[in-house]
Structure formats: C-alpha cells, structure tokens
C-alpha cells in the first residue's frame, strides 16, 4: 500500500492520467515508478500519461537515465507521455548532458498547460 501511495497514478479521464512525482528520486524509487506506471497503463488502458516533475528539485544523471527508461516503456505500451514542471536545475542537467529531450517526449511548462492543451485537442476532434 505504501508503494502505491509512493507512485500515485491519478486518472483524469478514461484514457489519461497524471503521475505526480514529489520528493527525492533515487534509483530504487525510479525503478518502482517504472514498474507501477507500466502496470497502470495496461490495467487502466491509458493512452496519455502526464509526468509532473514540479515536486522534484533534483535528479542525478543516473536517475535521469531511469526517467528516459520510464518514457520509453510508456511509449512501448502505446501510450503518449508528456513531461511537465521541469525545474531550471533539472533542465540545466539535461542540457549539460546533451540530451535532446524533444526527440523522446513532449514537454509542457506546467501541468495546467498540459491539461488545457489536451482538452483543446479533444474538443477539436469532436
């Protein structure tokens, strides 16, 4: 139960959920997040997952690589991942490492922006 609370997948619609990540993320927690999010994508038949990092102040390079593993796993499951709330310190680490994040995942400045744009795209389809 504690692990479930540590990786909350919050459904917003039948096909979209938010994964808010808060606090320190070490390798063990990153692996737990990966397992839980992939399980929930399958279980809930999700098509979109917003990973909100606004509650994370720092990610070391090892944990950043796990983040990309999570994103790759999400994509392999046929789900679209969006990253939001990336703090300047994390952005700087990504840039310093020479990682081209836009090739791997869509990014939005805030969770509010991601949800708003998702809702707009839904209304355009209808």
Is the model more confident about 84 or about 94? Answer: 84
Whether the per-residue pLDDT at 124 is higher than 90: the answer is no
Integer CA distances (angstroms), 100 to 46, 92, 94, 103, 106, in order: 26, 12, 8, 6, 11
68-86 pLDDT, tens digit per residue, is 899 999 999 999 999 999 9
Whether the per-residue pLDDT at 1 is higher than 70: the answer is no
Whether this prediction's pTM lies above 0.75 is answered by: yes
Q: All domains of the chain, ordered by start, with CATH?
A: 2-125 (3.30.750.24)
């Amino acid at each position: 139960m504690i692990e479930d609370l540590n990786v909350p997948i919050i459904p917003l619609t039948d096909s979209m959920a938010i994964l808010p990540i808060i606090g320190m993320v070490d390798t063990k927690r990153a692996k737990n997040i990966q397992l839980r999010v992939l399980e929930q994508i399958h279980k809930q038949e999700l098509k979109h997952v917003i990973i909100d990092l606004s509650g994370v102040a720092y990610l070391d390079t090892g944990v950043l690589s796990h983040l990309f593993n999570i994103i790759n796993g999400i994509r392999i499951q046929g789900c679209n991942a969006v990253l939001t709330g990336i703090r300047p310190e994390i952005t700087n680490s990504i840039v310093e490492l020479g990682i081209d994040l836009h090739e791997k995942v869509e990014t939005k400045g805030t969770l509010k922006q991601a949800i708003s744009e998702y809702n707009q795209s839904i209304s355009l389809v209808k």
